[in-house]
Amino acid sequence: MPRSESAQKQARVAERRQLRNKSIRSQCKTSITKAERLIFAGELETAKQAVADAVVSLDKAAEKGVIHTNNAARRKSRLMKKLNEALAPAPLPEEPEETG
């Protein structure tokens, strides 16, 4: 059964949007992966800049409606948490208390 003209046009529009969204999503994932690798490699100064770039790409994706705003916030939060844990100095082991 043939589709109406408006349905055909909507299908074309959806296809164009899908291509745009795919590249934006891919850019977000790439920037997050890059930042995480730098964090786990211990290159924290470079990681700070990579995290900032990832946050910008997530914000842009959320602004354009490619991902949901809360999705972007969740990903940014997880990424910042990893960075902050890597930046924090390692806690000193507690000495056992002596009784007696």
In the block, tokens 């948490």 appear at 81
Alpha-carbon torsion 5, 7, 10, 14, what sign? negative
Tokens representing residue 64 in the block: 């354009």
Decide if 81 contacts 35 (C-beta within 8 A).
Answer: no
Give the separation between CA 32 and CA 56, rounded to whole angstroms.
Answer: 11
Please report the pLDDT score of residue 77 as a whole number: 97
* Nearest to 75, CA basis, from 100, 88, 57, 87: 57
Query: For position 99, what pLDDT does the model report?
Result: 72
User: What is the reported pTM?
Assistant: 0.78
Report the distance separating Cα 40 and Cα 51, nearest Å.
13
Which domains are delineated in the chain?
17-87 (1.20.58.110)
Task: Say which DSSP state 66 is in.
Answer: S
Task: Name the phi and psi angles at 85, rounded to 5.
Answer: -65, -35
Q: What pLDDT shows up at residue 5?
A: 92
pLDDT at 12: 94
- List the pLDDT tens digit at each of the 100 positions of the chain: 678 999 999 999 999 999 999 999 999 999 999 999 999 999 999 999 999 999 999 999 999 999 999 999 999 999 999 999 999 876 777 777 777 5
What's the confidence (pLDDT) of residue 100?
59
